[in-house]
Structure 1
Amino acid sequence: MLKKLLNEPLVHFLVLGGLLFLFYFYTADLEETENSIVISQNRIEQLTKDSEEKLLSILTEEEKQKLVDQEIYETILYKEALKIGLDKNDADMRSHLAKKMEFVLYDTEEFPTPSDEVLEKFMIDNPKDYRQEAKITFTQSLMNPSTEKFEKEYTLSEFEASNIFGRSFSEELFKLEVDEKPEKIESDYGIHEVYITSKMIPKLQVFEKVKEQVKEDYLNAQRAEKNKVIYEAIKSEYSINIEKK
């Protein structure tokens, strides 16, 4: 019965018509949808859930937006990778293809070695990255009984003070000014009476000492700016729809 049915011309026609319909359905709007990206609410919730479980904290709206931006970024580079065939015989996930596309798009040009004048200007324009670490000299005495033993006088950076006395103590310590009356600050060990004797104003380091770091930072900044222009140009060709709740 089945063999006879398969030989019927009408069955052949219906099967062929169905195949043509499927072909048309999947290809007719390919050009129109190829550059469309839809970030569903379910996907946003999944990204948020995964990130919060990893970080063990609730994400802010700004952090959630960064997740969405990263999802768009990876999807765009993934689609660009598919366009030039980087997915052929490659079973890696989309993020891996996006990384490969980053290499194709971005790492194709060597920047010329910048002059010292250019690097010094970059250093001056970004002083916070090249300042000496601020330090403070103070005396302290622990007011309540404790088994902990501390020196009477310290000269510490904010990071060093945080390691010894705790973060909140360090933050309050660096708010104090020289020669003010003694202040009481609480640490992880109790209440300290603190007196500031001097504060080192952080200055820019000598250029020659940090020249190589400045050069690396400058080239990275140039590369990042160029990469951003390339990415934004590609992104502008996409229609992006982020589903709202």
Structure 2
Amino acid sequence: MRNSYLREPLVHFALIGALLFGINAVFTDRDESLDEIVVSRDRIDHLAAVFERRWQRPPSEQELHDLVENFIREEVLYREAMNLGLDRDDTVIRRRLRMKMEFLARDLVDAVDPGEKTLRDFHAANAEQYRRPARMSFRQVYFDRAAHDNPESAVETARALLGEGVPEAELGDSSLLQAHYRDESSERLERVFGGGFAAKLLDLPRGQWSGPVESAYGLHLVFIEARQPRRVAGFDEVRAEVLRDWQRSEKQQVLEAQYENYRTAYRVRIDDFPGRETDGVAMQ
């Protein structure tokens, strides 16, 4: 009878609870003045607002009561977990706390208005970061090397026919490539035609058929209609982008300053440091 009693799950839970309470009593020196949990009006309003955002309606009286009780339960268990030191040596908790510390620093930057001059100076100092690729509009006639014994000769024949007024749609070989590209960036053209194709177009004269220009597919006759060289985007054009980049840069600096400031409060000792002959390395 006694053994069967000890095997009851409820008895196990009671013993575990008593053990945890005993550990807490032995290993924590608690200040009773810190045990008060205050659920302020602002906290209640926040709980109600979170509920309303999720369910698209305000909570009922009973639901609000349950929200408050759940918050109290969470706070009690959180404090007891901290008293037991359950946050220590837990990689997930350590990383979450680190993230929260870094979020605090980042929030400081988000609240700062850098001003127009600061952003313009940042734009000027990082001009290369705001370069825009060359853009161009052109027509092309494609020639498949495998379809011709002498593809270069086929290109020259087509060029002569174009000069005589033969429509370009009647020349060249069929392909999935477009016959006309409008205001395309050099970056996209490199992806479509293969590396180096867009760079070759930058050297071609405008307003006449030129080529052959080689791509990953074969040969092309190309008629450049319009072209805009690679350039630095003006500040007004990329202001929002500059602001984001400035904030990112400032956040990184704030995080480093925050860490260095906290770091000075610690003396770090690294035992068995790789590459050192000493048993330990003290770092200040």
* TM-score where L is the length of structure 2: 0.43
- Find the structure with the greater CA-based Rg: 2
Structure ranking higher on relative contact order (CA contacts 8 Å, 6+ apart): 1
* TM-score where L is the length of structure 1: 0.48
